[in-house]
Structure 1
Amino acid sequence: MKQGIHPENYRFVIFKDMSNGTAFLSRSTASSKEMLKWEDGNEYPVIKLEISNTSHPFYTGKNILLDTAGRIDKFNKRYAKKA
């Protein structure tokens, strides 16, 4: 690995999923002005996320069903003239 190209200001931050309220503690270089008290009693900066692995349909198993048959028919109708 090349020396001197990686950031050195890693610190603990709380990532909070705003869609379901879950939070986890990790290290990051992202900056934030908001602080939140964690389970260990210390305060850490908070990074707000719109979606995380606790709310993403792929990880939760609650996939959204897509109308694939309609998409295929639409594709075939559009490009049938060129074939």
Structure 2
Amino acid sequence: MRGNIVDVRDTALRFGKFFKTSPEFRMNIQVAHDIKIQARPLEEVLAGIPEVEQLRRNLTVASESHAFTLRPVAEPLSIPSIS
């Protein structure tokens, strides 16, 4: 039963009825818990991801020291061919 989203919805509906709350209240509690559990093994990976403001500051500083504006460029996707 653990991990089955259908069971979580069913439980949310039943708890909502019993406690006179909305099913969304129970779902929000469940999602918050799931995110917290999922984040634990990803702490190092998440710490290495720059935030948009950090990138924006770096681009602003770089553009002020040069005669041109730096813009982030998406690298082309490398899609392996299927033989």
TM-score, normalised via structure 2 length: 0.28
Q: Which has the higher strand share?
A: 1
TM-score, normalised via structure 1 length: 0.28
Q: Which has the higher helix share?
A: 2
